Amino acid sequence: MKPPFPLAALTLTLAACGQPGQKAETSKVATVAVTDAWCRPTPNGAQAGACYATFLASTDDRLTGGSSPAADQVQTHEMSMADGVMHMGELKDGLPLPAGKAVTLAPGGAHLMLTGLAQPLVAGQTTPLTLRFASAPSVTVQAQIRMPSTGGAGMAHGGH
């Protein structure tokens, strides 16, 4: 039985689509820009805190975790709803960062979880945060410790 469409012709058609110079992924260096890093203040005695940031990857990448001198561990967590209860857990494979698309972590969604805090996160201060990626080199930022922007969940703060 012969296939209705010769395979060789299909291959040629596909090859013709691949213009030289369109292999962007081979020439791009994997980097991730990290902006607007901030952490929620923790009350005295709290051992864990959550931090957020905006990530822009040059190539498809994943946020796999991080480290901070302020905490024993920095993990990438996600929130999920199950049976009407919010759960949070580590993203074992990291958080996907599609090339050229800004990914913003925000309260209620994925976040960086700092556990084993040496001292509370105090509003007005900053804390160093080193972020690890699957492909791009690690990035260290100074995260601002502040309260979440008011205005309701999902509302854009805007006004830059």
State yes or no: residue 33 binds Cu ion (CB under 5 A): no
Output 113 or 136, the one with its CB closest to Cu ion: 113
Output 59 or 129, the one with its CB closest to Cu ion: 129
Contact indicator for 145, 123 with CB cutoff of 8 Å: yes
Output 30 or 91, the one with its CB closest to Cu ion: 91
Residues in binding contact with Cu ion, number by CB under 5 A: 3
Give the C-alpha separation, 122 to 133, whole Å. 27
Q: Which amino acid is at 25?
A: E
Give the C-alpha separation, 43 to 41, whole Å. 7
Stretch that binds Cu ion, among 25-33, 84-92, 100-108, 130-138 (CB under 5 A): 84-92
Q: Scanning residues 108 to 127, which ones bind Cu ion (CB under 5 A)?
A: 113
State yes or no: residue 34 binds Cu ion (CB under 5 A): no
What is the chain's percent helix, strand, coil content, to nearest 5?
10, 45, 45
Output 31 or 94, the one with its CB closest to Cu ion: 94
The three-state secondary structure class of 8 is helix
State yes or no: residue 132 binds Cu ion (CB under 5 A): no
CB atoms within 10 A of CB 33: 13
Stretch that binds Cu ion, among 22-30, 61-69, 71-79, 94-102 (CB under 5 A): 71-79
State yes or no: residue 40 binds Cu ion (CB under 5 A): no
Tokens of 60: 């498809």
Chain positions contacting Cu ion, by CB under 5 A: 77, 88, 113
